Chains A and B, each alone.
Chain A
Amino acid sequence: MAHRIEIALKRGIRDARGQSAVSTAKSFLRLPVRSCETRDIYKLDVRLNQKQKTAIRKAFTDPVIAVSSEGRHRPPAKFDWLVEVGFKHGVTDNVGRTARVVVEDLLRRTLDADEEVFTSRQYFWRGETLTREQVMTLARDQLANSLIHSIEVFDPTSWAAHPIDESVPRLTEISPVEVKTYDLSGPDDELMKISRDGILSLSLLEMHAIRDHFTDPEISRRRAEGSLPCEPTDVEMECIAQTWSEHCKHKIFAGVVHYSDADGNQRTIDSLFNTYIRGATTKIGEEIDWLVSVFTDNAGVIRFSDRYNLVFKVETHNSPSALDPYGGAITGIVGCNRDPMGTGIGSELLYNTWGYCLGSPFYDGDLPEGLFHPRRIRDGVHLGVIDGGNQSGIPWARGFERFDERFIGKPLVFCGTVGRIPVSIYGKPTEEKEILPGDAVVMVGGRIGKDGIHGATFSSEELRAESPAQAVQIGDPITQRKMYEFLLEARDAGLYRTLTDNGAGGLSSSVGEMAKLSGGAELDLALAPLKYEGLQPWEIFLSEAQERMSLAVPQECVNQLLALADRREVDATVIGAFRSEPELVLRYGEKIVGRLDMDFLHEGCPTMELSARWTEPEFPAPRPLRAGSRNQQLKDILGSLNVCSKEYKSRMYDGEVKGLSILKPFTGVHRDIPGDASILLAELDSRQGVVISEGINPFYSDLDTYHMMAGVIDEAVRRIISVGGRCDRIAGLDNFCWPDPVPSESNPDGAYKMAQLVRALEALYDVTTAYRVPCISGKDSMKNDSVRGGRKISIPPTVLFSAVGIIDDIASAVTLSFKQPGDPVYMVGVTKDELGASEFFRLLADRQRTPGATGGTVPAVEPSTALATYRAMNQATATGLLRSSHTPTLGGLAAALAFCSMAGDRGADIELKGLPVDAVLSDDARLFSESHSRFLVTCAPNREPELQKCFEACATARIGTVIEEPRLRVRGIRGRLLIDAPPATMRKAFKETLHGI
């Protein structure tokens, strides 16, 4: 039995947490709630006397605003329902972990292994008409996630009758340690059953390869000598399955693809990754000298200054975020931070980026059983990344959201981390990883539980109703922060040789990878520190419990490293040693439980063969609009989900910690307009800045993924150019999120999706090599489908292209705000009739109730023209010529003008007649076409001749003037007034859609 402490706010003190719960319950679930009072509960499963118990309760209670009781605190004067939410067994309870420290301080002793502190939370609801069923909905759909939380609901009578709850979520039955073997001698359907039931996600071909390996006479003989069974043990089988998972092995990108184009011409591509992504970077690498480490480590590394290299990685965490949005997302950001932390010999973390593709938070259609409402997903994902980033002390640099109904089945959650690493430490290049045979394997950070087991194999599958609950992990940024500071201290003291993070696949993946550097490794899984007893050896090896890194430590440094870890209250444990023999030997105490050939483990996975068939998709265009004012259309676009302001949630992310931020995510006189790109320092005492941007547009994919890919690369690049970043120092990161492209009975159009992938990669090769913008890192997530509730929902093919660049002097940064009345407005770049899948066409199709009718010409990139424009822009920004610059994206020129006008709180008189175009173009195309590689710029009136000279080789024309009067006026080809709107009206439309949501 535990000691229970309940803490409430004093009467009459505002309960902001309760008020938030009320407003969400009203606006999201539309429940008749009146008020909510919250309480914090601690359950101390600790040996205490009464005096100690009271001292602890007092220490836990804020004397100014809170009151507390041991046992049950008196209830509010009136309530209709009580909901208590706790954690299920084994779920990370971060508050409980911190409370344990306080208890230890107060008791002046260390708590024993069987003593623990747990937390839960109470919500006392008022709402006279609330039914039990509604309260259950409230509990399940808003307050708790039944995968990880325990939920109890009481009315006042049942609560009064209920004994005080002093139970704790602890496992009482502990299963004995047992190593099983897999019998692979059966027929194919039995092999597939083994794969499915064990969530191994191994294909038949792969099961055959494993069976053949283990029946090989030489292998059998060696196993017999090592007193191992002939059949693979569970430790071995699980290790192979995760090493060969799509998540870790990228089998689709590494496979052989037979592609046939629209005319039926066939060709074969051996490895999409090597052919296109690595191929492009290798080619570019022959012409530039600032690539340091690409595709080989946890993150890409490029040169920044004489002192520092930059490190950048962007991750996706889609499947976990679908199961538990908060836990999945916090793990996403905290996990991504470990990538730069584990790159080279370890880097410092500078900034985070985030981006989400979600269903509409206003979705009111049918939701397949088992899926969360998109609003719930959105709230949870934001909060997870907010808590993860803020508590890690890492500012956000960029963020975006895209909305489409097809993301209801699987949300896309992107998290990125930029770090810096000294060019060398102790005279050695920091990007090189080295391990010598004999080095100790040291696991550092959190302890191991069942968290996240099968995360890697599970994310390589579609989302099913029986997807495993333990695939959910909850990150603890504070434990990680402590580990991170410890690691930097140890790095600078030279206490370890190299390191890598424990992410998907846990130790099996980190040690399995690191062992390649020395040859092999030998581990004793019984040495690994556990959160609780009862884990099987294979679970210890596979667990994805968070906040852990694996280190290779020279034997002579082990004691010093462990002593430092102890002083910093960081767990660090020697669990084995690296060896030169090419095998991975796994022991549990004295007993050998697995012995895997390194070559088989890493090279034995059969190559996938895939077919891809491209056909031109056909989409009708929406009906053209009658001539007239476009005020309403502009307002609709500004207020549309994909364009509208995301400021409400964005302001909950810390963007200022470290004091490095120069161009912030929001800009303008009211700090409320998204900037083209962000600029941050990498060193407080340097004037050189880092520029960060992104491009993403899943909508173009419906028409042609080639142009989608080309477009998102161009968008990321031109955003950097727009704020003043150099065009010759940009690197990119590609994150591919695809619907399953492997044809099968349940996936009949797999070959088309595969062809979409091939086309996107062709564009990636063409555009990155033309721009000399190398990809330095990336990630692919290939199974973004949901089949829950008998309905298959697949995402549109989506690529996030993140870019990082350099600005030589932050003083030359340019923002998009219109600055002074009289400043001439210029358009640089050609506007074409490219409205296919544009924001404007999607608006028309939606209003005409033909949502798919967005067909037309999708914007195409002309790399050589674009590059000439970017060079001219570089000259203009470096010489301080431009007062403002903005590159049009969604919503075209019309939205771009609105943003510049709102940001500066200035009006402008614009005429579309002189706009540089390539053919006869309607007013609507001029206003709303999303043609790439364009800039809307202004300069001081006296510098107009300079501007004309600077852009003489580009299609450039003056299209108007900034004016004092706060009114944006745009006239069409024949002089008709198309737009006439004050910034205040546009601002209202832009900001109200997601305000408070």
Chain B
Amino acid sequence: MGSKPSVLIITGNGLNCEAESQAAWERSGAVVRLIHLNDLLASAAILQDHQALMFIGGFSYGDHMGSGLVMGLRIRNALRAELSRFIESGGLILGVCNGFQVMIKIGLLPGLDGDYFSQRLALMQNDSGHFRNDWVELKFESNSPCVFTRGLDEMSLPIRHGEGKVFTPDRRVIEQVEKAGCVACRYTHPETGEPTNQFPWNPNGSQHAIAGLCDPSGRVFGLMPHPEAYLLPENHPAWSFDRLTGGLPRERLGLQLFRNAVDYMCASG
């Protein structure tokens, strides 16, 4: 293994965040290989050559039958054994937006009781009934084992989705998820800094204001907001104010999540 950890990013079939996701990992010190989903399905063992796997955002198969459903099915059918091996051997998995939806559909999240292939939660249509693009405020849970969010407190990130509401009609599942520390981040109200169910701060009506989830090991993580779309201070909508009042928010960039993952891989490497 070289000195830089290696990350595999799946592309194609309607996914579309490959360029900025690649840039995020590379700026954090990883090397990236982009692989078309069709090529990965045809040679699944490639997965084991990497320390991390990323499911990026976009519209896999148009989200035509529900977001992430088709890609989730295809991956579960073709990649189940290789994914199990990858998780067991300590690999990291990150899913953003459509990637998070795919992971939820496969069952990779919340991954309770070591079961990574049964769907336990839904990411369903936003309460508003439509797609929304805006910036939201997030708070990271300090008691979560998530390796991506270690040491992080708060962050602004863009959201852009139509189906981002974490939901289950079964209260016991949500309680289990909370108890296992699987909630890695929540939407907060900018005035109180507390988790909120209020639109637009909670943009989709997510239960417990959940924005992102990890598995109990903290190595498998998915979220609706887009950390890879906040690589520059000038991506933030308020940057023209920030520069007047004490500089740009260089430390609050979405890049931090990727750096954490790279640090973890280097340390355990």
Contacts and interface: CB of A to CB of B under 8 A. Distances in A.
Interface of A: 10, 12-14, 16-17, 19-20, 40, 59-60, 62-65, 94-95, 97-99, 101-102, 105-106, 386, 390-393, 476-478, 481-482, 485, 567-569, 651-659, 661-662, 664, 666-667, 669, 671, 681, 684-685, 810-811, 813-815, 817, 819-820, 883
B69 interface: yes
A17 B229 contact: no
15 contacts: A13-B169, A16-B127, A17-B129, A64-B121, A64-B168, A391-B14, A391-B62, A482-B13, A656-B226, A659-B19, A659-B229, A659-B230, A684-B23, A813-B240, A814-B240
Contacts of A652: 130-133
B98 to A, nearest CB: 10
Contact of B62 (A94, A655, A661, A667): A94
A815 B58 CA distance: 30
Contacts of A815: 240
A223 B126 CA distance: 63
B15 to A, nearest CB: 8
A478 B12 contact: no
A478 B38 contact: no
B94 to A, nearest CB: 16
A64 B229 contact: no
B197 to A, nearest CB: 13
B136 to A, nearest CB: 11
B121 A390 contact: no
A12 B238 contact: no
Contacts of B125: 16-17
B65 A99 contact: yes
Interface string B69-102: 1100110010000000000000000000000000
B23 A659 contact: yes
A10 B128 CA distance: 19
Contacts of B38: 567-569
Nearest to B60: A478
Contacts of A662: 232, 234-235
Contact of B12 (A65, A99, A568, A820): A568
Contacts of A97: 64
Contacts of A684: 19-20, 23, 231
A649 to B, nearest CB: 9
Contacts of A64: 119-122, 167-169
Which one of B65, B132, B232 has the highest number of Cβ atoms from chain A below 10 Å of its Cβ?
B65
A485 to B, nearest CB: 6
Which one of A98, A661, A666 has the highest number of Cβ atoms from chain B below 10 Å of its Cβ?
A98
A63 B235 contact: no
B64 A99 contact: yes
B169 A65 contact: yes
Given A99-B64, A482-B12, A14 B127 contact: yes
A94 B62 CA distance: 8
B18 to A, nearest CB: 9
A102 B59 contact: no
Nearest to A663: B240
A477 B58 CA distance: 12
B119 A656 contact: no
Given A13-B167, A655-B133, A661-B235, 16 more contacts: A10-B169, A65-B122, A94-B62, A99-B64, A390-B59, A391-B14, A391-B59, A391-B62, A477-B59, A652-B130, A657-B229, A658-B20, A659-B19, A684-B23, A810-B234, A883-B244
Nearest to A59: B73
Contacts of A820: 244
A478 to B, nearest CB: 4
A393 B39 CA distance: 21
Contact of A98 (B65, B120, B231): B65
A656 B62 contact: no
Contact of A651 (B119, B120, B132): B132
B74 A105 contact: yes
Contacts, number: 174
A16 B163 CA distance: 10
Contacts of A392: 16
Contact of A95 (B17, B59, B65, B235): B65
B36 A568 contact: yes
A699 to B, nearest CB: 30
Interface string B156-181: 00101000000111000000000000
Contacts of A671: 134-135, 237-238
B70 A657 contact: no
A478 B59 contact: yes
B14 A102 contact: no
Nearest to B203: A651
B133 A481 contact: no
Given A62-B119, A819-B244, A101 B39 contact: no
A80 B186 CA distance: 41
B215 interface: no
Contact of B16 (A10, A393, A667): A393
A426 B48 CA distance: 35
Contacts of A655: 133, 160
A110 to B, nearest CB: 15
A63 B119 contact: yes
B14 A478 contact: yes
Nearest to B126: A16
A899 to B, nearest CB: 15
Which one of B57, B61, B167, B168 has the highest number of Cβ atoms from chain A below 10 Å of its Cβ?
B61
Given A393-B16, A655-B133, A811-B234, A819 B167 contact: no
Nearest to B135: A671
A636 B134 CA distance: 28
A659 B232 CA distance: 8
A940 to B, nearest CB: 9
Which one of A12, A62, A655, A813 has the highest number of Cβ atoms from chain B below 10 Å of its Cβ?
A62
A657 B23 contact: no
Contacts of B14: 391, 393, 477-478, 481-482
A481 B57 CA distance: 14
Nearest to A689: B234
A40 B66 CA distance: 11
B137 interface: no
Contacts of B237: 664, 666-667, 671
Given A64-B122, A102-B65, A669 B241 contact: yes
Which one of A390, A392, A815 has the highest number of Cβ atoms from chain B below 10 Å of its Cβ?
A390
Given A62-B122, A105-B73, A567-B38, A393 B240 contact: no
Contacts of A98: 61-62, 64-65, 70
A65 B207 CA distance: 14
B107 to A, nearest CB: 10
A485 B15 CA distance: 10
Nearest to B125: A16
Nearest to B58: A393
Nearest to A21: B129
Contacts of A810: 234
A143 B140 CA distance: 42
A101 B70 contact: yes
Which 7 pairs of residues, A with B, have the shortest CB-CB distance?
A: A393-B16, A20-B129, A659-B20, A16-B129, A98-B64, A64-B122, A478-B62
Given A12-B169, A667-B237, A657 B130 contact: no
A485 B62 contact: no
A477 B64 CA distance: 11
Contacts of A17: 125, 129
Contacts of B128: 16
B124 interface: yes
Nearest to A93: B64
B141 interface: no
A926 B63 CA distance: 53
Contacts of A95: 62, 64-65
Contacts of A481: 14, 16
A662 B61 CA distance: 29
A488 to B, nearest CB: 11
Contacts of B228: 659
A882 B226 CA distance: 32
